[in-house]
A and B are shown apart, each in its own frame.
Chain A
Amino acid sequence: MVPLSWYLALSALLFTIGAVGVFIKRNAITIFLCIELMLNAVNLTFVALSGFFGDVGGQLFVFIVMTVAAAEAAVGLAIIISIFRNRESLNVDEVDSLKL
């Protein structure tokens, strides 16, 4: 049996990779993938703790997170495609036209 701390350590590692990726990458799709990574790191925590405490609440949350992530992926990819069509670029630092 894998102890709980391993799950948590893996999830923290994945989350940190995702967070750092969001920080340092400029490519919108990469950032997007990193966000997915963070979401799934959290999902892993939920499932691990759910099993540990014998409480299905955590697994329910995972379903919600996955649903939201799917919707978010659809909308996010649509936005990314439309940005690319307009600007021929996926560099998020260049997308700043909302700035005052």
Chain B
Amino acid sequence: MNFSNEPLLAFIILAPLVGAAILGAFGRRMGERLIGVIASSTVAISAIISFLVVFRHYSELEHGYKFYNYLFTWISVGTFRADASLLLDSLSAIYILFITFVAFWIHVFATGYMRGEDGYWRFFAYMNFFMFSMLTLVLADNFLLMFVGWEGVGLCSYLLIGYYFTRDYAIDAAKKAFIVNRIGDFGFALGVMLLFLTAGSIFYFDDPARGIHGAFTWALLQAPDPVGWAPIFAGGITTIAILMFIGATGKSAQLPLYVWLPDAMAGPTPVSALIHAATMVTAGVYMVSRAGSIYTHAPSAMLIMAVVGAVTALFAATIGLAQWDIKKVLAYSTISQLGYMFLACGVGAFGAGIFHVFTHAFFKALLFLGSGSVIIGMHHEQDMKLMGGLKKYMPVTFATMLVGWLAISGVPLFSGFFSKDEILYRAFVSKGLPEPWWPSVLWGIGAVTALLTAIYMTRLMVLTFWGAERFKHESGHHDPASHQAGDHEHGVSPHESPRSMIVPLVVLAAGALLVGYLGISEGLSGGKIPNYFERLLEPSIARSQPHQATETAVERAHEVAQTEHAAPAASEENHGTEWALTGVSIVLAVGGIFAGWVWFRRTPLWKPPQLLEDKYYVDEVYNASVVQPIKVGSINLLWKFIDVRIIDGAVNGAGHLAAGLGAALRQMQSGLARSYVAVLVIGALLIVGYFVMTRP
């Protein structure tokens, strides 16, 4: 493995931090235009440096070079060491490219979207701080620094969901997001601690220059755990993997910790686009892929991940089918797509998962910004019941969302098609699962989800842009939960959004259209178009065959070399399967769109099953099974007994004791100087007398 130094990395994370500091300190006195320029330009600086660094070292990254930027040693206690140092390899390279690019355009969009809101400066200070945290998360070279970024993005998520802090539902949603994420973070922190205990290091890779041994070097030398329940609780590599995956389920909104993400839509729409769709929620996928060498040695964890991913994908898609709030549909869609990513990672196709993260960042950011544009155009109305026929009022928003819709539905030649197809294919041909029917089942769930995705996205588009204009006659009807600020007059007149919002939409639409071509799988293109994405990512991705137990790294490398030689022959056979599966995917996507089109054009206000509309009552179940018991226990035990009786009792008791002692001792203070002298003299006599009497 080759290492070099790249001092520019620090500037990628520092630029947004400086922006956040400036806006946080002086933003209150700045004009909106200046705030927008500062916030966007610091992200632009990050983006430019990222592109500069990555493309200058492109061929080195492709060959597995790693670039370090050591800043300082953060903690060094005994054998524990954590540095503030950054690592660029092809995995983090891909992440910083799309994060900074998409984030820049979302910042630009937000300058228009947030116009006239109270606390404009606060919004952008948080957004810049989010960028700093996210880039720290991605560029960290050890798990503890990653955890700093991990918590930082969680904090910014909390602050931005609760941006409209005068509204109860926003505050509740922010708290919910923060608390649910804490549960996941707890798992992640435990995983890192256990990793240190077993591997003796929390760094990812070896760095001879600093004398660091990487945890992944340790992981690669381990024999893979067997599949089963025992290794999960054994405290070995599988336990580490499971604990870290719990962290990922919190941050990336997987079952059972997904509940915060739909509520997180209470934040402003650019926040939903940046944090709750494109970047932060994919941190879990990043972490799992980063720790790929751990996961490939923990097949039970991989299996759980695949199952959780697949079930979440299907589960969220069914709920998405029945939501009326345009942002809620997209939120469940995001959960569903994240499920795909974990399904990919779970079957060992980390590359496919990251590719879907990459394309998803573009089309989901686009869809969210498009929905933001619709919401602004409709004067802060989010209920799709009160939309319809908007395409003639908002032509650009309509055209760009059209691209996003086709991309997420998996229509051929759009970016989502390539990545989703890759995931389904990799699920179908995955090896190493305990029973031979597993791959087909996972693929089947994924395929049904793809169909549902096409249907609910078509529903969203039809309800929003086509059909009768429902807003004029029914504008008196309010849904308080989805109704944001703004004067809601009778008979809103939808209008197209300003240029600062349109340009990002167009740019992201171009991205959603084109980025898929960077990673066309070899089977589809027949090798004619190089798969840039996979070639770049290849050296950073763990091999996906968990049962290949090897004793030493040398043997392992040898084996890898052999598999690579054998690969072409095997992949020839698979091309047939891949084409067949692609055919199925296309049929599902087009069929879903067609079914959705026919159905929702005819009955746009078709009432979905109550169970789906009420989200399977998961929130109610959590409320009854977790929230209420904690609340009751806190009130009756912690507050009324422990706090009032024991803690307050001890504190008040100490006070009473001091008062009583004082009351007794004050009797001695007679105020008579001569009595004090008497005490003094008698005391002195006693002491002198004692020494005289006890003299030997």
Contacts and interface: CB of A to CB of B under 8 A. Distances in A.
Contacts of B681: 19, 22-23
Nearest to B667: A100
A24 B673 CA distance: 11
Given A19-B681, A23-B681, A92 B666 contact: no
A96 B677 contact: no
Interface string A30-50: 010000000000000000000
Given A19-B681, A23-B681, A96 B674 contact: no
B664 interface: no
Interface string B660-696: 0000001001111110011001000000000000000
B692 to A, nearest CB: 13
A71 interface: no
Interface string A71-100: 000000000000000000000110111111
A23 B674 contact: yes
A92 B670 CA distance: 12
Contact of B677 (A23, A97, A98, A99): A23
B684 to A, nearest CB: 9
- Size band of the interface chain B makes with A: 10 to 19
Given A19-B681, A23-B681, A93 B669 contact: no
Contacts of B672: 92-93, 96
A39 to B, nearest CB: 14
Interface of A: 19, 22-24, 26, 31, 92-93, 95-100
A23 B678 contact: yes
Contacts of B666: 100
14 contacts: A22-B674, A22-B681, A23-B674, A23-B678, A31-B673, A92-B672, A92-B673, A92-B674, A93-B672, A93-B673, A96-B670, A96-B673, A97-B671, A100-B669
A95 B677 contact: no
B694 to A, nearest CB: 21
A18 to B, nearest CB: 11
A52 B623 CA distance: 92
A70 B354 CA distance: 89
Interface of B: 666, 669-674, 677-678, 681
A95 B673 contact: yes
Contacts of A22: 674, 677, 681
B377 to A, nearest CB: 76
A99 B668 CA distance: 10
Contacts of B674: 22-24, 26, 92-93
A92 B677 CA distance: 12
Nearest to A24: B674
A23 B676 CA distance: 10
A93 B674 CA distance: 8
A23 B678 CA distance: 7
A92 B673 CA distance: 7
A30 to B, nearest CB: 12
Nearest to B672: A93
Contacts of B670: 96, 99
Contacts of B673: 31, 92-93, 95-96
A54 to B, nearest CB: 24
A97 B672 CA distance: 10
Contacts of A31: 673
A22 B681 CA distance: 10
Nearest to A100: B666
Nearest to B666: A100
A100 B662 CA distance: 11
A97 B669 CA distance: 11
A100 B664 CA distance: 12
Nearest to B670: A99
Contacts of A98: 669, 671
A92 B672 CA distance: 7
A26 B677 CA distance: 12
A99 B678 contact: no
Contact of B671 (A19, A24, A96): A96
Contacts of A93: 672-674
Contacts of A96: 670-673
Contact of B669 (A23, A26, A95, A99): A99
B662 to A, nearest CB: 9
A99 to B, nearest CB: 3
Given A23-B681, A26-B674, A92-B672, 15 more contacts: A19-B681, A22-B681, A23-B674, A23-B677, A23-B678, A24-B674, A92-B673, A92-B674, A93-B672, A97-B671, A98-B669, A98-B671, A99-B669, A99-B670, A100-B666
Nearest to B685: A19
Nearest to A35: B677
A23 B673 CA distance: 9
Nearest to A25: B674
The 4 closest A-B pairs by CB, nearest first: A96-B671, A99-B671, A92-B673, A100-B666
